Amino acid sequence: MRQIWINRKGEADVLAVREVARPDPGPGQVRVRVEAAGVNFADVMMRRGLYPDAPKLPAVAGYEVAGTVDAVGPGVDEELTGAAVVAMCNFGGYSEFVCLPRTQVWNRPAGVSAKAAAALPVNYLTAWQMVRVMAPVSAGDLVLVHSAAGGVGQAVIQLCRLAGARVIGSASPAKHDFLREQGLDHVFDSRQADFSGEVMAFTEGRGVDVALEPRHGRWIMESYDSLAKCGRLVLFGFSSAAVGKRSGILSSLRTLAGVPWLKLNPVRLMNDNKSIAGVNLGRMWDQGARTSFWMTELLELLAFSAIAPVIDTVYGFDDAGQAHRRLEDRLNVGKVILVPGKVTSA
């Protein structure tokens, strides 16, 4: 079978397709014939050697796949064979076949393509954890989401809409019209350094109820300053550390140096009546029962078309480098997907 390997840390050309033996499912496992795999920023961070939870290189990236169960291991109901599924991987998803614990595999709703299903787990579970669990939004709330046109941003917008919350967001200017068409109340340039002033002007000095910040570093304070009283800031990324060829240990240190370590102390949080939370889905593997419940809820919403993953671009395995570059250069609107075979429509 074919897999996409990260041979060493570096630019996208370190990705290479290898032929390896097809794995056999062990006890409690199923083998999924992969039809689509999601590409995430964590994969880019792994490739650049900036993701501490990643396996030692060379290794195979990939957190989420969709396809068909083609074999089951001991202890798994054989009737599952042939089922259309979506699954979470703790790495290894850039493969034609992948063996996974039965508990990390869910039936795919009827009529949902593998590409759409593969776009669901990481982005929508992250969004769910933020706006349903860590900083639950309600009707009438105003939510600020950065990188609003990306996969997580699109998931956030859809979940906020279901809750009756309003959304404002940032993105590169080329994506602003798309976001306005989605009903965002206000859109501004994601490169704008002093955006808290614009947020306060738009809200007539009130601020937002929830701010979702994926960039880390110096951006944290700007998002915090955008909050209203009782506002909640959720941090869910480290993307400022991975910006083109400048990415590496030094860019990570520069990003960390921009964190307002002393300004955001417990006394200030109390006095400002604000809160800060953090989300890292990659550290939730020991919370399988909880995240499985979230996934079941999301799949039900997907089945009834209450949510709909936005697919940006689909690439074949041989073009995995292009997929990474598109994500890394922030060109995507929605999810980037890899498929083992010939590229067809989403």
All structural domains of the chain? 2-120+309-339 (3.90.180.10), 122-282 (3.40.50.720)
pLDDT over 50 at 73, yes or no: yes
pLDDT of residue 323: 98
At 257, the pLDDT band (50, 70, 90 cuts) reads confident
The first and second tokens of residue 329, run together, are: 């250069």
Name the pairing type of β-strands 64-72 and 84-88.
Answer: antiparallel
The whole-number average pLDDT for the span 111-126 is 98
Cβ burial of 143 (10 Å; 0-12, 13-18, 19+) is: buried
Q: Give the pLDDT mean for 84-106.
A: 97
Query: Which pLDDT belongs to residue 346?
Result: 47
Best CA proximity match to 307, nearest among 45, 112, 53, 141: 112
Confidence of residue 341 (pLDDT cuts 50, 70, 90): confident
List the beta bridge partners of residue 183: none
Average pLDDT, the chain: 94
Query: Tokens for 226?
Result: 């955008």
Distance CA 68, CA 45 (A): 29
pLDDT band at residue 89 using 50, 70 and 90 as cut-offs: very high
Structure tokens at 309: 């993953």
Percent of residues, the chain, with pLDDT higher than 70: 95
* pLDDT (mean) for 268-295: 97
Q: What is the pLDDT of residue 345?
A: 54
Task: Write down the pLDDT at residue 245.
Answer: 57
Stretch 252-270: mean pLDDT: 85
pLDDT digits (tens, 9 = 90+) for 222-250: 999 999 999 999 999 875 555 555 556 66
Distances from the Cα of 207 to the Cα of 104, 135, 168, 230, 272, angstroms: 39, 16, 11, 10, 13
CA distance 13 to 120: 27
| pLDDT at residue 191, as a whole number | 87
Residue 29 has pLDDT above 90, yes or no: yes
Residue-level length of the chain: 346
Identify whether the C-beta of residue 142 lies closer than 8 Å to the C-beta of residue 332. Answer: no
- Provide mean pLDDT across the span 138-151: 97
DSSP 154-206: HHHHHHHHHHT-EEEEEE-GGGHHHHHHTT-SEEEETT-TTHHHHHHHHTTT-
In this model, does residue 201 exceed pLDDT 50? yes
- pLDDT-derived band at 322, boundaries 50, 70, 90: very high
Percent of the chain having pLDDT more than 90?
A: 86
The pLDDT, as a whole number, for residue 251 is 67
The single residue listed with the structure tokens 């955001």 is: 264
pTM: 0.94
Residues 259 and 220 sit within 8 Å (Cβ to Cβ): yes
When pLDDT is averaged across residues 129-152 and rounded to a whole number, the result is 97
Residue from 318, 309, 325, 343 nearest 120 by CA: 309
Does the pLDDT of residue 132 top 50, yes or no?
A: yes
Burial class (CB in 10 A: 0-12, 13-18, 19+), 161: middle
